[in-house]
Amino acid sequence: MPSRKIPKNHLFVTGAYASSKSDVMIGFESLLEKEYMLLLDFDPTVEKYVEQPVTLPVPGKSRRYTPDLLVTFRKDSTGHRPPAQLIEVKTTAELTRKAEDLEPKFAVAEKYATDRGWIFLKKTELDIRTQRLANLKFLRRYRNLSPAPEEEAGVLARLQVLGGTAELQSLLDMLGATPEEQAQWTPILWNLVVRNRIMFNIDREPLSSNVEVWLPGN
């Protein structure tokens, strides 16, 4: 449960985000924070995240400090669980403009995290507004599609015929002879991509018909 209720703010975008990693809506205080939640939502290493996880007293300050998020991770293949991350989301401009006020708050948060074996991190637009985010904004609309098992198997079999790696358009050409037929297959392809049944370089390439895709393990 959040330690602080997010207030309405006329200067920033606030609201609640529906996360696949939570049974309840997760509050955010800025558009940048909401975008970071999208990255977390599609990160398979993330187990869950909660907003406003703890409120900390700050020496010499009348107001206490509440970091934005606490992110916890799944165990890896060796059974090791990475340390949780206590996160503050701020633009680089905010960090510069408010540096004097934020420094003691961040020092308290870093000590609190270290004492618990966590890591305290600051995330800015440089970390968040990436090619990965742009691709996920496009792909998320296809997440809840449910291709028929034979459709999914057909796509994967044709990609295997192409050597397990091909341009997306080459795969579409095998699936449909006409633009209309290919248009019917396109949402299925995006669904397989967002579910990691088909891979592509999500961090470097914008999605297009000539992007290279491949089967996991290729």
d(CA 166, CA 74): 32
Render pLDDT for 70-95 as a digit per residue (tens, 0 to 9).
999 999 999 999 999 999 999 999 99
pLDDT band for position 10 (50/70/90)? very low
DSSP 94-131: HHHHTHHHHHHHHHHHHHHHHHTT-EEEEE-HHHHSSH
Q: What is the chain's mean pLDDT, rounded?
A: 92
- Res 20: pLDDT: 85
Convert the pLDDT of each residue in 102-141 to its tens digit: 999 999 999 999 999 999 999 999 999 999 999 999 999 9
Quick one: DSSP state of residue 62? S
pLDDT per residue as tens digits for the range 159-181 = 999 999 999 999 999 999 999 99
- Element at 47 (helix H, strand E): strand 46-51
